[in-house]
């Protein structure tokens, strides 16, 4: 059987390159000057595009942060899929899985705050981003729990879909707390440890 790979055309590659350049310069300016001090005109000048071009890709400057963090999320989920917790007991494996996500997103903490603000303030516009991120996290988390179940670390009588749903909802709450609290995240650390301990009580195989 011959496998045919369809590569993106020149127009699509050009649009992707412009989008990447806009996001790169926008995020850099936000980091240097603060989000409130940066205008769309500043971003257009830095990215060497017209102001109108910016609006072909985003509706607001905050959308640049949301797009950037969606890209970050893809990279985070890719690294999570390569995470090896096969020698760790259940509680330590779950903690490692969550803490790696905090660690990878820590450099972008201020942008995560904007991300959550946009999620609650502009729900309709935010829905496509949320759907993509949900699917990324859901598939990675389900794979993680499937591996745990295969090695006998969690019960087999609990559907993976249910475990994944509960865990991803727990993560959403933890990340909201993480975004609000800020470094050094002591409250998040305490809450995470307690929630994981309680979750493990329900997931660990029952002794006969």
Quote the Cα angle for 97-125-185, to 5°: 35
CATH number, domain containing residue 43? 1.10.10.60
At 136 the pLDDT is: 85
Indicate the pLDDT class of residue 208, thresholds 50, 70 and 90.
low
Mean pLDDT of 46-72: 86
Name every residue whose Cβ is closer than 8 Å to that of residue 94 and which is 6 or more positions away in sequence: 196, 199, 200
Q: Write out pLDDT tens, residues 39-52.
A: 999 999 999 999 88
Domain presence at residue 70 = yes
CA distance 88 to 171: 20
Q: Of 129, 164, 170, give the one whose Cα is nearest residue 149.
A: 164
Quote the Cα angle for 135-14-132, to 5°: 10
Domain presence at residue 17 = yes
Residues 169 and 116 in one domain: yes
Are 180 and 70 a contacting pair, CB within 8 Å?
no
Domain presence at residue 157 = yes
Helix axes 109-121, 10-33, angle to 10 degrees: 110
Residues 50 and 71 in one domain: no
Residues 94 and 33 in one domain: no
Residues 103 and 51 in one domain: no
pTM above 0.75, yes or no: yes
Lowest mean pLDDT among 1-10, 15-24, 97-106, 147-156: 1-10
Residues 126 and 93 in one domain: yes
Q: Write out pLDDT tens, residues 70-97.
A: 888 999 999 999 999 999 999 999 999 9
Q: Write out pLDDT tens, residues 125-171.
A: 777 777 888 888 999 999 999 999 999 999 999 999 999 999 999 99
At 1 the pLDDT is: 47
Helices marked H in 106-159 — which ranges? 109-121, 123-150
Domain presence at residue 150 = yes
Percent of the chain's residues with pLDDT above 90:
49
User: If you search the block for the tokens 């903690």, which residue do you land on?
Assistant: 95
Residues 103 and 128 in one domain: yes
Hey, what long-range contacts does 6-11 have (CB within 8 A, 24 or more apart)?
A: none
> Does the CA dihedral 115-129-95-199 come out positive or negative?
positive
Residues 52 and 71 in one domain: no
At 92 the pLDDT is: 96
CA distance 141 to 138: 5
Q: Which domain holds residue 171?
A: 60-203
Q: Write out pLDDT tens, residues 175-202.
A: 999 999 988 899 999 999 999 999 999 9
Residue 14: helix, strand or coil by DSSP? helix
Domain presence at residue 65 = yes
Domain presence at residue 115 = yes
Q: How many CB atoms lie within 10 A of CB 162?
A: 9
CA distance 187 to 190: 5
Q: How many CB atoms lie within 10 A of CB 43?
A: 23
Residues 51 and 105 in one domain: no
CATH number, domain containing residue 69? 1.10.357.10
Residues 170 and 69 in one domain: yes
Residues 100 and 195 in one domain: yes
Residues 23 and 120 in one domain: no
Domain total for the chain? 2
189: tokens are 């650390």
Domain presence at residue 4 = no
Residues 112 and 37 in one domain: no
């Amino acid at each position: 059987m011959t496998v045919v790979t369809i590569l993106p055309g020149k127009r699509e590659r050009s649009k992707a390159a412009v989008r990447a350049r806009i996001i790169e310069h926008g995020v850099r300016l936000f980091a240097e000057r603060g989000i409130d001090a940066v205008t769309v005109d500043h971003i257009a000048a830095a990215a060497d595009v017209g102001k109108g071009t910016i609006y072909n890709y985003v509706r607001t400057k905050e959308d640049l942060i949301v797009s950037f963090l969606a890209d970050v999320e893809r990279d985070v989920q890719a690294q999570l899929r390569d995470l090896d917790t096969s020698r760790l007991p259940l509680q330590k494996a779950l903690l490692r899985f969550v803490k790696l996500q905090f660690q990878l997103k820590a450099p972008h903490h201020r942008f995560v705050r904007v991300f959550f603000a946009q999620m609650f303030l502009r729900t309709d516009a935010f829905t496509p981003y949320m759907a993509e991120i949900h699917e990324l996290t859901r598939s990675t988390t389900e794979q993680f729990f499937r591996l745990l179940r295969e090695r006998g670390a969690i019960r087999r009588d609990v559907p993976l879909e249910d475990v994944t749903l509960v865990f991803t909802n727990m993560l959403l709450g933890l990340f909201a707390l993480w975004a609000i609290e800020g470094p050094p995240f002591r409250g998040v650390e305490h809450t995470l440890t307690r929630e994981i301990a309680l979750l493990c009580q329900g997931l660990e195989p029952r002794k006969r």
